[in-house]
Structure 1
Amino acid sequence: MSSAVENDDLLREPSLYFNRELSQLDFNFRVLAQAQDPSVPLLERLRYLCISCTNLDEFFEIRAGTLQHAQQLGLAAGPDGLVPSATLARIHERSADLVQAQYECWNDVLRPALSDAGVRVLHRDSWTDAQTEWLRGYFLDEILPVLSPLGLDPAHPFPKILNKSLNIVVVVEGRDAFGRAGHLAIVRAPRSLPRIIQLPEAISGGASDFVFLSAVLSAFVDELFPGMEVKGAYQFRVTRNSELLVDEEEVENLALALKDELLGRGYMRAVRLEIAEQCPPDIVALLLENFDLDESAVYRINGPVNLNRAIQVYDLVRRPDLKFPPFTPRVLPGTDAMFETIASHDVVLHHPFDSFSPVLELIRQAAEDPHVLAIKQTLYRAGKDSPIVEHLIQAARNGKDVTVVVELRARFDEEANLGLADRLQAAGVQVVYGVVGYKTHAKMMLIVRREGSKLCRYVHLGTGNYHSGTARAYTDIGLLTADADIGHDVHLIFQQISGLAPSLELKRMLQAPFTLHSGMLMRIEREARNAKAGLPARIVAKMNALNEPQVIRALYKASQAGVRIDLIVRGACSLRPGVPGVSENIRVRSIVGRFLEHSRVYWFENGGEPELLCGSADWLERNLLRRVETGFVIVDPRVARRVHAEALENYLADNCNAWELMSDGHYERVAPAEGAAPHSAQMKLLHKICG
């Protein structure tokens, strides 16, 4: 017993854990590598660059903002031994490296390459006379009427600056009509203005020419200060903490509390300041003072401060030769009769290679089918103009009993989900906001249908959201089944969420925060016991992120017992692989390709009787212990073999888009061995499934 305790203490050593925030930050370097890869189509490279910028925005809004709050509360160090202040310091250092790499990629690689391809994002100093004249007219007609410059003086203190909004700080000299001496003014760009402006082809000579709004504002800002001299104009942008902190125990109405909280989200505490690199130090100091930031939070930018807005160029340019080839997802046979198809056999959908349309069809057919009595569904992110929502509303109008669990706290979708809940309630749908203190992140749909003298349950379970858009951009697994045990389990979980049911005994499923964590630990420990007994023992798991300390220690112990463990972790991974005596049997890889890897799949060899589960949860502390999540066993051996082959073994063979995590924390890109053929897991599935 004492040796086991000593080993457990050893496995708690901070050196065995990578910092979750820094690991998540490093994921963006792998995304940026796609923008730097000349084998990727040019406009897709621009898209990857913009994704890395948007990801960094969200990282500061949520991860850095949360750490800042933790620092104020004096919270202790995490498993890696870093206190919040130390983590924040490293974040700013690593982020500075990332920002520099992003703008080098933009200025030195992508802008010139796009220009050579006839897609020009023009610098102000390269405008022709005709372009300058057209842009001046555009400024006077379309931009100036909606601007409200604010001179800074005792009567006009520094204004509130909205999160991630584009602003120009202007240095002016002279006196205005009231005799006031000019010094500094702030010009805020309203969100109604496009951040990228496309010039007419007649002005551009047939090329696709674009200009950032920030360049136009800087070029013609003197028009806002007639009779005064503009000495300088410097763009800046501030990022604020956007994590909502609603005390659910203290509010009577979560929806109303969230609405109030959302009103102030754009003006919460600042965490980062981006500013034009040539901005004078005294102005930078003024901004830092007003945003209550120190010098470590400043990022001096050689280019537009809102570089992620260049994604509009991708959307506006019709150049198929500069984008990934289009594909048509495979449509499940028998979609016209979904109940008969699912009743005959379990169906697995591997998105985006398999179409999401069978899920939409199932809901549509349920809404119209006179034998359907009830529909229950979770909605975490549904997307704008969701066809699923329309089908649910129609089902309610057709007299079905429709219950929808809407997660109001889905990050950055809170406002959309509040509106969604109002629409559903107005149509007669029973809307449930989930469980106080626990986000409902599970992806479940249950349909109750009368067939003869009995009631049958049809279920959809997924690893991703009920969102038609992301179903074409994210890899996810969906299961359609009429299995009675799974139907029973899903029914009980819905009852528990909407009512006040006790903890459940489920037959085929695991549920967070009750049995999912312990169920995963039990399976990992079972592999360790099997390895010690000389039985077949292996673990292959695919997820978005891994940081839960007990799971990591269990994996270390399994590795020590001789279990071979392959982890496919897209983003943050706190586990340190390859440590002698601890994790030398663990390999960790990350796949970054055309589609965002999002499926969660867990396979255990189980002494020669493999068990495969899918689910909505990563191996993160929040998912396993502080959310409502589900994990479901794939019962049908045929379906399980397909998921194992496509979502696991296929990805372990990838030597084109894979990165391997080294024991020192850095990732190395995997390349085909000498004489080996290239293997891209995503391309393999595109060719195999989509044809």
Structure 2
Amino acid sequence: MTALNVPSTSPLHTLKTYINRDLSLLEFHKRVLAQAKDTEYPLLERLNFLIIFSRNLDEFFEIRVASLIQQFELSSNNKTRPDNLFISEILATISKLAHEAVEQQYKILNYNILPQLQANGVNFIQHGDILQKHKAWIKDYFHHEVQPVVTPISLDPAHPFPRLANKSLNFIVTLEGNDAFGRKIDLAIVPAPRSLPRLVKLPTHVSGEAEHYILLSAIIQQHIHELFPGVTTTGCYQFRVTRNADLTVSEDVEDLAIALKGELSSRRFGRAVRLEVNKDCPEMITDYLLEQFDLDQDQLYLVNGPVNLARFISNFNLPELRFPPYVQKLPKALYGNKSIFEVLKTGDILLHHPFHSFAPVIKLLKEAARDPHVLAIKQTLYRSGVDSEIVQVLAEAARNGKEVTAVIELRARFDEESNIEVANLLQEAGAVVVYGIVGYKTHAKMILIVRREIDKIKRYVHLGTGNYHATNAKIYTDYGLLTSDADICEDVHKIFQELTGMGKTIKLEKLFHAPFTLHSQLLELIQQEIKNSKAGKKAQIIIKVNALTEPQLIHELYKASQAGVQIDLIVRSICCLRPQVAGLSDNIRVRSIVGRYLEHTRVYYFYNDGDSKLYCASADWMGRNLFSRIETCFPIENKKIRKQILEDGLNNYLKDNRRAWELQADGTWIQCQPSNGQAVYIAQQQLMNQIF
């Protein structure tokens, strides 16, 4: 299905006006990596940032680099739009920057984090660190835990190079001699069992008072010879291959769930896009591996340490090396054991996660599930597991006889399998489950509750900028609005009708929604600021999103800057707009906040000649959000709440001088630092200290 409302022509951009989105995303990952060497963070949190960087980079190669390689192979190195770069140029730059970042990553690990952890009584044993006192326990662990589940694979005409799963830890082993059948064996592959932890804690009687963790790779390498009796092992080298993990499902399928199940298995064995090998691996072996995976030298990453840092994590019992625990708060309106339905009759409630608890959202659903006056509950689910309390409450509501409708987005990347399980659970409980619109991901965050009250039907709504995921609500910043406003409730009702039924585009009173009205309304709001500025009036725009890539919106922001509109953009990751370019974007500043919590709120503010307009939304300013997804954008009409979001969610972040990074005209990012005599201001910390 072709996306609706896509502009027939895109504004003309060049590299001077549009930063390549993939290079911008890689710059964000580098900002995350920079947190790992920031000594103001607790030590284990720095290690966690290192792990987050690894996971981010994995997904970057699995999705973005894989897509570029596919385009390159299909289009013979065409230029991309709108940055007008050749695909080969983008891939070459990514390779250079990614190699530099990975080298820095392992330097931080080996020369900063591991030595400091050791000084705090936490030791990581790699193969070269094994001491005599460790060997007996390691041998016992290998024989009882590893050897029974490991499968060595010799490479010979009867055993060709195995099909290795995406991101799995493997070893290539060099051998000398003949096996039991008289065959001369030179090479073998040993996949590390995925069922075993990558970090194993040694018992106190072996390690002493300090905590010692040994890598699974070290245990396997120490006893690799036992897997090949009668043959001499001359080398053992870790490696890991990253594959294309994007899923493609035809829009002509009859059952999306069945089609996705068929595609999920292919994700593990897509085309190889990156090879990581321990740096001590001989060139002859790395060349052999590159040949097996059909990769070039620039796709090889020689690493000075474990090749699977994404799993380099354990439950360390060292709270002093973590962030101090933070107790989430409740809005004052919800103090005490009040019914949320009764509270909402007096006014709207704003939730600002993670500073506010996610508990009110769950409480709302629990009240609805158990209230005899509630007739129906409708909800969108983008990322939720079967163990989610929200899913369990929806199932309870269905079993209690409520009309429960769940719009589940099965194609939420890397959560497809979990979402299929959620759909099955809810269907078994008696809920109506739909998968949204084929060709359009349902990314909107909505709950609608229908309740009979005396002589009328009343509706209650929750709208959010983030997913219905209680764990994410502790680490992502998001806004949620609880309201019983009749017009907003009616708009949400209409969108659910749109998602579950068929018909023409529905006109909404207050909400903007993609792929129908959101893009055009945003353009109108920017254009109104341009008109006001040209008329000599104050004009201001503040936008907070996760990503800004849509060419026409960028073009319009440039026009607004040239008209004198003051524009502040708070963009967490990808920003294709170039700020501070003379004559183009002099009045645009772009900053990114990277801190303890993942910035995820989407807020749009327009001064509007003093009658300000402020919206929260599920959508970033990307083409996919505006034209290929179901998204909602809702106005904040309560003046007190609007002021609170403006101050806490926007101006507060514009004051940050420690966790903020500012985008330069050349595409580089510079971390903010307090000027001489200026106090440190950290936006997230201000919100944590604040009493809501």
Q: Which TM-score applies when normalising by structure 2?
A: 0.97
Match of 2:50 in 1: 49
Deviations 1:25-48 (A, max 9, x none): 111111111110111100000000
> Is residue 177 of structure 2 the alignment partner of residue 160 of structure 1?
no
Cα distance in 2 for partners of 1:323, 1:383 equals: 27
Report the 3-state secondary structure (helix = DSSP H, G, I; strand = E; otherwise coil) of the residue aligned with 2:665: coil
Cα distance in 2 for partners of 1:412, 1:438 equals: 17
- Whichever residue aligns with residue 324 of structure 1, its letter is F
Match of 2:512 in 1: 510
Match of 2:62 in 1: 61
Cα distance in 1 for partners of 2:79, 2:491 equals: 39
Report the 3-state secondary structure (helix = DSSP H, G, I; strand = E; otherwise coil) of the residue aligned with 2:376: strand
1:679 to 1:11, Cα distance in 2 relative to 1, 3 A: farther
1:201 to 1:548, Cα distance in 2 relative to 1, 3 A: same
Map 1:161-180 to 2 at 5 A.
Answer: 161-180=164-183
Cα distance in 2 for partners of 1:557, 1:612 equals: 21
Deviation, structure 1 residue 219: 1.6
Deviations 1:229-259 (A, max 9, x none): 11100100000011101112x2111111000
Report the 3-state secondary structure (helix = DSSP H, G, I; strand = E; otherwise coil) of the residue aligned with 1:376: strand
Map 1:525-674 to 2 at 5 A.
Answer: 525-674=527-676
Cα distance in 2 for partners of 1:311, 1:239 equals: 20
Match of 2:284 in 1: 282
1:336 to 1:318, Cα distance in 2 relative to 1, 3 A: farther
Asked if 1 retains the 8 angstrom alpha-carbon contact of 2:237 and 2:277, the reply is yes
Cα distance in 2 for partners of 1:194, 1:188 equals: 14
Deviation, structure 1 residue 13: 2.9
Report the 3-state secondary structure (helix = DSSP H, G, I; strand = E; otherwise coil) of the residue aligned with 2:102: helix
**Alignment gaps of 5+ in structure 2:** 1-8
Deviation, structure 1 residue 11: 5.9
Report the 3-state secondary structure (helix = DSSP H, G, I; strand = E; otherwise coil) of the residue aligned with 1:460: strand
Asked if 1 retains the 8 angstrom alpha-carbon contact of 2:443 and 2:618, the reply is yes
Deviation, structure 1 residue 73: 2.7
> Is residue 123 of structure 2 the alignment partner of residue 120 of structure 1?
yes
Map 1:204-215 to 2 at 5 A.
Answer: 204-215=207-218
Report the 3-state secondary structure (helix = DSSP H, G, I; strand = E; otherwise coil) of the residue aligned with 2:220: helix
Asked if 1 retains the 8 angstrom alpha-carbon contact of 2:579 and 2:665, the reply is yes
1:10 to 1:424, Cα distance in 2 relative to 1, 3 A: closer
Match of 2:103 in 1: 100
Match of 1:396 in 2: 398
Asked if 1 retains the 8 angstrom alpha-carbon contact of 2:62 and 2:246, the reply is yes
Deviation, structure 1 residue 278: 1.7
Deviations 1:382-419 (A, max 9, x none): 13510001110111111110100000000000000011
Report the 3-state secondary structure (helix = DSSP H, G, I; strand = E; otherwise coil) of the residue aligned with 2:147: helix
- Whichever residue aligns with residue 38 of structure 1, its letter is T
Report the 3-state secondary structure (helix = DSSP H, G, I; strand = E; otherwise coil) of the residue aligned with 1:14: coil
Map 1:449-464 to 2 at 5 A.
Answer: 449-464=451-466
Deviations 1:453-505 (A, max 9, x none): 11111000000000000000000000000000100100000000110121121
Map 1:219-298 to 2 at 5 A.
Answer: 219-248=222-251, 250-298=252-300
Structure showing the higher helix proportion among its residues = 1
Match of 1:3 in 2: none
Asked if 1 retains the 8 angstrom alpha-carbon contact of 2:444 and 2:631, the reply is yes
- Whichever residue aligns with residue 244 of structure 1, its letter is L
Report the 3-state secondary structure (helix = DSSP H, G, I; strand = E; otherwise coil) of the residue aligned with 1:545: strand
Match of 1:4 in 2: none
User: What RMSD in Å do the two structures reach over aligned CA positions?
Assistant: 1.3
Asked if 1 retains the 8 angstrom alpha-carbon contact of 2:442 and 2:629, the reply is yes
Deviation, structure 1 residue 76: 4.3
**Alignment gaps of 5+ in structure 1:** 1-7
Match of 1:327 in 2: 326
Cα distance in 2 for partners of 1:124, 1:286 equals: 24
Cα distance in 1 for partners of 2:48, 2:386 equals: 21
Asked if 1 retains the 8 angstrom alpha-carbon contact of 2:386 and 2:421, the reply is no
Cα distance in 2 for partners of 1:502, 1:427 equals: 32
Cα distance in 1 for partners of 2:343, 2:215 equals: 52
Deviation, structure 1 residue 15: 1.4
Match of 1:306 in 2: 308
Cα distance in 1 for partners of 2:93, 2:280 equals: 25
Report the 3-state secondary structure (helix = DSSP H, G, I; strand = E; otherwise coil) of the residue aligned with 2:570: strand
Report the 3-state secondary structure (helix = DSSP H, G, I; strand = E; otherwise coil) of the residue aligned with 1:272: strand
Deviation, structure 1 residue 131: 1.0
1:10 to 1:433, Cα distance in 2 relative to 1, 3 A: closer
> Is residue 25 of structure 2 the alignment partner of residue 19 of structure 1?
no
Match of 1:144 in 2: 147
Asked if 1 retains the 8 angstrom alpha-carbon contact of 2:10 and 2:552, the reply is no
Cα distance in 2 for partners of 1:56, 1:73 equals: 24
Cα distance in 2 for partners of 1:613, 1:536 equals: 20
1:311 to 1:40, Cα distance in 2 relative to 1, 3 A: same
Report the 3-state secondary structure (helix = DSSP H, G, I; strand = E; otherwise coil) of the residue aligned with 1:649: helix
Asked if 2 retains the 8 angstrom alpha-carbon contact of 1:11 and 1:556, the reply is no
- Whichever residue aligns with residue 483 of structure 1, its letter is D
Report the 3-state secondary structure (helix = DSSP H, G, I; strand = E; otherwise coil) of the residue aligned with 1:431: strand
Cα distance in 2 for partners of 1:465, 1:196 equals: 31
Asked if 2 retains the 8 angstrom alpha-carbon contact of 1:383 and 1:469, the reply is no
Cα distance in 2 for partners of 1:448, 1:256 equals: 32
Deviation, structure 1 residue 209: 0.8
Match of 2:501 in 1: 499
> Is residue 469 of structure 2 the alignment partner of residue 470 of structure 1?
no
- Give percent identity, aligned residues only: 53
Map 1:408-419 to 2 at 5 A.
Answer: 408-419=410-421
How many pairs are equivalent? 679
Asked if 1 retains the 8 angstrom alpha-carbon contact of 2:350 and 2:480, the reply is yes
Report the 3-state secondary structure (helix = DSSP H, G, I; strand = E; otherwise coil) of the residue aligned with 2:658: coil
Report the 3-state secondary structure (helix = DSSP H, G, I; strand = E; otherwise coil) of the residue aligned with 2:573: coil
